[in-house]
Amino acid sequence: MSDTGRSGGQGASMPSATALSEGAAAADGAGALRPALRRAAVFASALAILSLLAAVVVLAARNDLDKAVRVLADAPVWLVLVVVAFATLNYAIRTQRFVYLARRLGLEVPFGEMSVYYVAGFALTMSPGKLGEMVRLWFMKRKFDFSYRRGVALQLGDRISDVYAMLLLCLAGLTGFEQYRGSVLAVLGVALAGTLLLARPALLIGCLDIVYAAVRIKPRLFVHLRHMVRNTALVMQGRVFLVALTLGLASWFAEAFSLWVVLHLLGAPVDLLAATFVFAFAGVVGGLTMLPGGVGGFEIVMVMLLGLQGVPTEVALVATAILRLGTVWYATAAGFLAAPFAVRLSTPRPARG
């Protein structure tokens, strides 16, 4: 074999310096994220087991365990897939909202790539207030050097539009749940007050200036906070917020609709507006508890409200379990599957010489 042939063969078999550099960067990123993912996996597994045990204990205490098993046995085997389909639609719409808000903050990310980052964030959804989902900002920081002060504004805009969407869905289905009108309006009032502060940042920035004048420490922190407040205002005003809210309403109504479908297929139909209120109010309460994934608060409120609609306890528990399996637990599993791809995709490419 000629020298040229040998050198060509060696060149084909040896990875380039760029490939090696990218591989090392991806490995470093995976190493940084792996401990958090490992802890999240253990915690999510423990929480799932505890949730199942709690449901069994409640049913056994009420002598409804046999009834629940029969309800579950009679349910169509594809029922969870129906919930998963609507949940997937929810996540697709919310990803599009994330893309839209990021664009308003100066970051252009294709929908496909953002989908990977967004779904990967669900791996850490079992954290207080879902704060772990902010890992999405880490991916975008790695790939695009997207500053955290803009990233926090993006996350706040995303979260706040969810809160409003849930509250508006509560108002839409309030008929028949008049006893909860005060609670819904109180949370809505707090949300409106906070939105006014964020949409018109002069007051918040003035408060930051007063605090800094009093303490005179960490000047860079206060500069970052001012920038974050100004960036948040960009996604809280006018048409931008209206678009985000509309997408939020569509996404969360899809999951409320899936609850209505589940109840019908389990033989305990309720009105669509009632199912919408039950789902949305349970989501609001679960969020306010700040428990990981809203687990506990969401389930208790949903079973209680379905009971007020005449749904038997065993059916309400089975419907809630199916809904949660096809939404929050499906999202968590998808997040763990997407995380390695997000690490690889977010690996910054080295400059070519």
Is residue 206 situated within a structural domain? no
Is residue 216 situated within a structural domain? no
Confidence at residue 14, expressed as pLDDT on a 0 to 100 scale: 40
Is residue 283 situated within a structural domain? yes
Confidence at residue 121, expressed as pLDDT on a 0 to 100 scale: 92
Is residue 196 situated within a structural domain? no
Confidence at residue 22, expressed as pLDDT on a 0 to 100 scale: 43
Domain count across the chain: 1
d(C-alpha 265, C-alpha 152), whole Å: 41
Residue numbers of the domain that contains 316? 18-177+239-345
Is residue 282 situated within a structural domain? yes
Is residue 190 situated within a structural domain? no
Per-residue pLDDT of the chain (353 residues; tens, 9 = 90+): 444 444 444 444 444 444 434 444 455 555 667 777 777 778 777 777 777 777 777 666 666 677 777 887 788 888 889 999 999 999 999 999 999 999 999 888 899 999 999 999 998 887 766 667 788 999 999 999 888 888 888 998 999 999 999 999 999 988 888 888 888 999 889 888 888 878 787 888 888 888 888 888 888 888 888 888 888 888 888 899 999 999 999 999 999 999 999 999 998 999 999 999 999 999 998 888 777 777 778 888 899 999 999 999 889 988 998 998 889 889 999 999 999 999 999 887 665 54
